[in-house]
Structures are given as structure tokens and as C-alpha cells.
């Protein structure tokens, strides 16, 4: 659920205030204790001072007391004029009768006497006064008298007040500074928190919300539908073959392209829709404003159209398409997890239909997706369990009408599902990477069969093996192939590697390097499914190829379809001009064969000439052909 910052702020303020009040109270308590301590210590210092004064007066009054001389005693007391805190003083004889007393100017209190209670007669001591009696002035062991001082505490209170004022000012100042520091620290923390929050919830490359934020927003959108009704459309968008961009132009350009993709996609959405980047080349769009499933579908179509124009990158212009899956809450899915799963399933469905497309989720897809997972799991075991077979389909030379090559085609004899065709499992194997061990196995099986045929005298027969894109990106491919040829004794010139035109054009530089290496070893290269990709003459000239196989979609409607006629004849002419042999795939009728023959096609392959068959069946055909050849030779 998204956070509610509105609630957090007043709470934080209350916490601030409470902290401040507590700190203030603590300071006040400390100040009070210090003040009390100050009062006590100042008072005792004052009393000590007064005692010293009284003692000095007493020492100086010994003579006056001995001779009972009030004038001399009075003189001694008059020195107190300069003492700011003494209000009144008296020198008393041994009977506690005043010999002399002193009264500070302006003081109207009673003269001090030795006995505190007596001193209080008719006079209330104020909090501002203290009585100090200096007991007993002695001489030769005889009590002469005593000195009594009444001292003002006014100065003490003034100092204490000053101290309290200073303490309060220091406390208030400290609190103010602390408050400012705390406020500043809070601001820094809030700013850092906001930045961390941004980093945790957004994708640094595109600036879009990331997967984390996506989950929260989707949950929030669904909760709104639960409360108020309506629907939420979820689109999962996966860029097709984006890896190629990264591999060929580098990750930096890949990131730049992702940024442009994000901008274009955002451009076609409404402000109420949310787009997030949830993976490397995956985006998710939450459509909250969609009022019908058709509206969501039209957004998906718009997103696909938005990517149609090329993306400028450095000196290149790159194209990228996307496959999109759509699932609608609550129509297609009852909860968040199901919605995500279904949008994903629909996206995979769109991809498997040939990419650059979108599909709305349908329950059937789930079954298909499950089947796909099962397929992948059982495919992993197929090799060990020896369930794979290689079939061979003949290729006939039009000139000699003889089998000059066979194409190795993989078959899977599943113990429960029966014979599975490669179009069903090869894409799954490609995606999971299983195609690498599978492809190697086919190569070995095909070469072993070729070796058996060679042993029977058919050394001229070429063997064509399909190579997948994943195999081509394998480091040790060339070494693996050479090792297999070496082990089986098949001549490199007998092996034809078929690479589809689309794969060939995906990474021209890399493929030119690979094919040149293979060619240098004497292996033949054939371009499969020719006409379905986007190769140009300029590019074709760069590849060291021996053969082009015209895709069967151009053969099917021959010779009736004018366009196919034109394409086929053009491909044959172009290939021959490059010195490349032409094979026509999917020849099913005599009319197709006749047309291809007439226009100079070199080889044909198709059900009309022979379906893919297990090795021993092809051996029978080859033997028959061999016998026919023997029979046609003039006898000696
Ligand atoms: P491909 O290489 O273009 O193989 C030709 C496909 O056309 C084969 O389908 C073959 O059975 C089929 N075919 C042959 N003659 C005719 C015809 O007259 N009419 C029609 N309609 N079809 C015909 P298959 O065996 O199902 O293979 C399909 C694709 O699977 C192959 O297309 C190839 O791309 C891939 N594949 C098959 N085996 C392997 C393999 O061992 N490795 C790799 N990487 N791919 C393979
Ligand atoms: Mg092929
Ligand atoms: Mg083909």
C-alpha cells in the first residue's frame, strides 16, 4: 500500500514538541538544583565572611570591653560603614548588654543581640537577613563579651537572581540551538529518506517506477476496484530480441535505447496510467482509466505502433518491437497474483505467435503454458532416455534426378505424447538453452549416419544439419564440429550447415567471422528459409556461402502465383550471379518441380520427392538409386 505522508508529519511534530518539553523540564530541574546549591553555598560563604568580620571586631574590642569604653567600641564598629552587607552590629559585654551598637544608614531594624529569640522581639526577621553572633571574646580565661552582626542577604539574592537569569538564558539558548540542530537534522534525514525512497522505487535507467513500486501500485489499483468497482487492465510488454541490441551495440547503447523506448511508451499513455520497468527489457502498464476491455486492447495496439519507427543510436538506426500480454481485473483474474501470471502468459503467447504482437489472456493459454513447462522438463530427460531421433529428407539434383544430399531433421518420440515435431519443441529448446546439447547430438548422429553411408560407398552424399542461433554463439562450436568430423571420418566438404536468414542478419559482423572460419575448414554453408529475412545483396556478398534454400512459402503457390513466380526466379538469378547454388524447399507437386526445373533451380527438397525418414529407410532409397545407376552403366 502506498504511504500516507499526511499522517506522518503532525505525528513527527508532536514527537518533536514532546522531546523539546522533556529536555526543557530536565534543564529546569538541573537549573533548580544548581540554584539551591548556589544559595546554600553563597549563604554559608556570607556567614563565614560575617564571622570573620565579627572576629576582627571582637579582637579590636578587647580593650574597649576591658575598660568598658563605649566610645572606643563605637569607633571599632564604625569601620562597618564600608561593609555593604552588615545592617547592624553590637558589641555586648559579659552580661549581654550593648556596649556599642552600629546601624547601617537606612536600616530601621532592632540592634542585634546575642540571643536570637530576643532579637526577634518586636522585629520580624525578613528572608533577606541573617544574624551572626560571634560567641565570647575572652582574655586571660575571662569572658569579656560578644559581637553580634545582623547581615543583609540582599546581595546574595541579587547574585542568585542573576544566576537564575543566566541559567535560564543558557537553558533557553541551548534549547533553541538544539531545536535548530534537530530541525536541520530532520530536514537532512527527510531529504535522504526521500532520496532512498526514490532509489528503492524507481529504475535508474529510465526513471520509471521499478518492480517494487509496480507491485505496490498494482495492489493499490486493485483495492480501489474492490472498493469502488470498475476494472484495471494490466499489460506486460517484453521487447523482442533486445539482447541483440545489447550484444551488438553494447550495454550503454542498450540503456539509451531503453530510455527512448520508455519515453515513447509513456507518450501514448494517459496520466492516469502507470508504466513501470519491471525487468531488463520488460515493462508493465497499469491501466486504471480503462472502462472496457476494448479500450485496454487499443492501448496495447498503440504501444506496439509507438515502437515502429527506428531508434537513433550513435550512427545507427535500430528497430525494436515488443510482444504484449493483456489481462484484465476482475474479468480475467480474481486476484493480483493471477492477474500478473495471466498477463505474463498472454505475453508469452504473443511472443510464440511470432513477436511484435499483443494477446489478451484466455484460459486456454494457461494450459498451453503449463504444457510448455512440462515439455521443457521432459526435454531435459529426452536425451538421457534416448527418445530423440534424426530423420533424413532427401535433396534431389534437378540435373541428375539423384539424391545428392539429405537434411537431418530432429524428431522426438515422447513415450506418452507420441512423435513431437520440431516446430513444437525447438523454440522451447532455444529459449531454455537446451538446443545447444540437442544440436550437438543431432550433428553427431547425422555424421555417424553419413559415415555408415560412406562405408557403403556413398561418399558423395552431402549431409545438411540445421544450426540454431544459440549454438552459433557458443565459444567452442567450430572445435566441436571439427572434433565430430574427425571422430566419424566425415569429410568437411560433405557437411552443409544450415543457418536461417533471420539469424544470419542478426549480427552480421560476428556471423561473417564465424562463417569464414567454418568455410576455411572446408565446411559448406547454406542459408535456410531464404526470403523471410531482410538480407540485401550487399550483405549476402560478405558471407562465404555455398547455397541458398528458398523458403517453402514461396514454393507453395507456384506456378500459379505471379508474385511468387517473380520472387523465385529473382532469387535463382541473384544466387547464380553470386555463384551460389539454389535449393527449393517444400516441393509438393510436379508442377512446382517443373517450374523450378525450367528456371534453373539446382536442387529440390519436399514431400513430392521424399518426406523426412529414419536413416535405414533412406539407406533403402540410396541403395535403390545405387543399383539403378549400376544397371544404367554399360556392361563390360
Ligand atoms: P527447416 O530447416 O526449414 O526444415 C524443413 C522443414 O520443412 C522440415 O520440417 C520438413 O519436414 C518440412 N518439409 C519438407 N518438405 C516439405 C513439404 O513438401 N511440405 C511441407 N509443408 N513441409 C516440408 P520439420 O522437420 O518439422 O522442421 C521444422 C524446422 O525445425 C526446420 O525447418 C528447422 O528450422 C528446425 N529444425 C529441425 N531439426 C532441427 C535441428 O536438428 N536443429 C535445429 N537447430 N533446428 C531444427
Ligand atoms: Mg533446414
Ligand atoms: Mg527451411
Residues 226-246 have pLDDT tens digits of: 999 999 999 999 999 888 778
Compute, in angstroms, the gap from residue 391 CA to the centroid of ligand 1. 10
Distance, CA of 43 to chain centre = 71
In a mutational test of the pocket of ligand 1, which residue from 379, 382, 409 has the highest number of ligand atoms less than 8 Å from its CB?
A: 409
- Cα 457 to middle of ligand 1, angstroms: 27
Nearest CA to ligand 1 atom 22: 586
What CA–CA distance (Å, rounded) separates 168 from 181?
A: 19
* Ligand 1 site, CB within 6 A: 393, 409-410, 421-423, 426, 439, 442, 466-468, 498, 528-529, 552, 585-588, 605-607, 612
pLDDT in tens, 172-213: 888 888 888 888 888 888 888 888 877 788 899 999 999 999
- For 255-314, the pLDDT digits (tens) are 999 999 999 999 999 999 999 999 889 999 999 977 788 889 999 999 999 999 998 887
Q: Is 331 helix (H, G, I), strand (E, B) or coil?
A: coil
Average pLDDT over the chain, rounded to an integer: 87
Q: Which is more confident, 370 or 623?
A: 623
Task: Please state the rounded mean pLDDT for residues 100-120.
Answer: 70
pLDDT number for residue 536: 65
pLDDT, mean of residues 344-349: 91
Nearest to 614 by CA among 389, 443, 445: 389
188 versus 4: the higher-pLDDT residue is: 188
Cα–chain center distance at 415: 43
Mean pLDDT, range 83-101, rounded to an integer:
84
Please give the Cα distance from 88 to 73 (Å, whole number). Answer: 14
Mean pLDDT for the stretch of residues 460-465: 94
Nearest partner of 440 among 406, 487, 394, judged by Cα? 487
Q: Compute CA distances 600 → 43, 399, 532, whole Å.
A: 128, 9, 21
- Grid cell, residue 40, equals 546554600
Residue in 405, 422, 471 to alter for ligand 1 test, most ligand atoms within 8 A of Cβ: 422
Percent of the chain with pLDDT over 90: 44
How far does residue 409's CA lie from ligand 1's centre (Å)?
Answer: 6
Largest Cα span, the chain: 183
CA distance 558 to 562: 8
Specify the pLDDT at position 584.
97
* Nearest ligand to the CA atom of 467: 1
Task: Please state the rounded mean pLDDT for residues 152-159.
Answer: 85
Question: Residue 480: which pLDDT band, with cuts at 50, 70 and 90?
Answer: very high
User: Which percentage of the chain shows pLDDT scores above 70?
Assistant: 94
Q: What is the pLDDT of residue 365?
A: 84
Q: Which pLDDT score, from 0 to 100, does residue 290 have?
A: 78
Cα–Cα distance, 405 to 144 (Å, whole number): 149
Give me the residue label for grid cell 493471477. 338
The model's pLDDT over 112-140, given as tens digits with 9 standing for 90+, comes to 766 655 455 555 667 777 777 777 787 78
Amino acid at each position: 500500500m502506498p504511504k500516507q505522508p499526511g499522517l506522518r508529519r503532525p505525528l513527527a511534530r508532536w514527537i518533536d514538541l514532546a522531546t523539546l518539553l522533556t529536555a526543557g523540564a530536565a534543564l529546569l530541574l538541573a537549573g533548580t538544583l544548581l540554584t539551591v546549591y548556589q544559595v546554600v553555598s553563597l549563604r554559608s560563604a556570607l556567614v563565614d565572611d560575617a564571622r570573620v568580620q565579627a572576629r576582627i571586631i571582637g579582637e579590636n574590642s578587647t580593650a574597649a570591653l576591658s575598660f568598658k569604653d563605649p566610645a572606643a567600641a563605637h569607633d571599632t564598629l564604625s569601620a562597618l560603614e564600608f561593609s555593604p552587607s552588615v545592617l547592624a552590629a553590637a558589641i555586648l559585654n559579659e552580661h549581654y548588654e550593648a556596649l556599642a551598637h552600629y546601624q547601617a544608614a537606612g536600616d530601621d531594624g532592632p540592634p542585634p543581640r546575642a540571643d536570637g529569640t530576643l532579637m526577634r522581639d518586636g522585629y520580624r526577621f525578613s528572608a533577606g537577613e541573617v544574624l551572626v553572633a560571634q560567641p565570647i571574646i575572652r582574655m586571660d580565661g575571662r569572658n569579656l563579651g560578644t559581637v553580634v552582626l545582623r547581615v543583609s542577604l540582599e546581595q546574595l539574592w541579587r547574585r542568585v537572581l542573576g544566576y537564575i537569569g543566566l541559567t535560564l538564558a543558557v537553558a533557553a539558548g541551548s534549547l533553541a540551538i538544539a531545536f535548530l540542530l534537530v530541525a536541520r537534522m530532520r530536514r537532512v534525514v527527510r531529504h535522504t529518506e526521500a532520496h532512498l525512497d526514490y532509489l528503492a522505487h524507481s529504475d535508474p535507467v529510465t526513471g520509471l517506477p521499478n518492480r517494487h513500486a509496480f507491485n505496490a501500485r498494482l495492489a493499490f489499483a486493485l483495492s480501489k476496484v474492490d472498493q469502488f468497482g470498475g476494472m484495471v487492465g494490466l499489460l506486460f510488454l517484453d521487447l523482442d530480441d533486445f539482447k541483440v541490441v545489447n550484444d551488438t551495440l553494447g550495454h550503454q547503447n542498450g540503456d539509451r535505447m531503453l530510455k527512448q523506448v520508455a519515453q515513447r511508451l509513456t507518450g501514448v499513455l494517459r496520466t492516469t496510467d502507470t508504466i513501470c520497468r519491471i525487468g531488463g527489457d520488460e515493462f508493465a502498464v497499469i491501466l486504471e482509466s480503462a472502462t472496457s476491455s476494448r479500450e485496454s486492447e487499443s492501448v496495447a495496439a498503440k504501444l506496439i505502433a509507438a515502437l515502429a519507427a527506428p531508434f537513433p543510436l550513435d550512427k545507427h538506426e535500430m528497430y525494436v518491437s515488443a510482444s504484449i500480454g493483456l489481462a484484465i481485473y476482475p474479468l480475467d483474474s480474481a486476484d493480483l497474483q493471477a492477474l500478473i501470471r495471466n498477463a505474463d502468459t498472454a505475453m508469452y503467447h504473443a511472443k510464440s505467435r511470432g513477436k511484435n504482437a499483443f494477446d489478451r489472456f484466455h484460459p486456454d493459454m494457461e494450459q498451453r503454458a503449463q504444457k510448455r513447462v512440462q515439455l521443457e522438463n521432459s526435454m531435459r530427460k529426452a536425451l538421457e532416455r534416448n527418445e530423440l531421433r534424426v530423420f533424413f529428407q532427401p535433396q534431389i539434383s534437378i540435373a541428375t534426378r539423384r539424391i545428392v544430399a539429405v537434411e537431418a531433421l530432429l524428431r522426438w518420440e515422447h513415450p506418452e505424447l507420441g512423435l513431437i515435431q520440431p516446430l513444437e519443441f525447438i523454440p522451447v529448446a532455444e529459449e531454455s538453452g537446451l538446443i545447444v546439447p540437442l544440436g550437438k547430438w543431432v550433428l553427431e548422429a547425422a555424421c555417424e549416419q553419413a559415415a555408415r553411408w560412406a562405408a557403403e560407398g556413398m561418399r558423395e552424399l552431402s549431409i545438411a544439419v540445421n544450426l540454431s542461433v544459440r549454438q552459433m554463439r557458443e565459444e567452442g562450436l567450430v572445435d566441436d564440429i571439427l572434433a565430430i568430423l574427425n571422430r566419424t571420418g566425415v569429410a568437411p566438404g560433405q557437411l552443409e550447415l544450415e543457418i536461417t536468414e533471420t539469424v544470419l542478419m542478426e549480427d552480421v559482423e560476428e556471423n561473417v567471422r564465424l562463417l569464414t572460419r567454418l568455410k576455411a575448414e572446408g565446411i559448406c554453408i547454406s542459408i535456410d528459409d531464404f526470403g523471410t529475412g531482410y538480407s540485401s545483396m550487399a550483405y549476402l556478398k560478405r558471407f562465404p556461402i555455398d547455397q541458398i534454400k528458398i523458403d517453402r512459402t514461396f514454393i507453395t503457390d507456384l506456378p500459379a502465383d505471379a508474385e511468387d513466380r517473380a520472387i523465385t526466379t529473382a532469387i535463382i538469378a541473384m544466387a547464380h550471379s553470386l555463384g551460389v547454388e539454389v535449393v527449393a524447399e517444400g516441393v509438393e507437386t510436379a508442377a512446382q518441380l517443373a517450374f523450378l526445373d525450367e528456371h534453373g533451380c539446382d536442387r529440390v527438397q519436399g514431400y513430392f520427392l521424399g518426406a523426412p525418414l529414419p536413416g535405414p529407410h533412406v539407406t533403402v532409397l540410396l541403395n535403390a538409386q545405387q543399383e539403378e545407376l549400376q544397371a544404367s552403366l554399360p556392361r563390360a
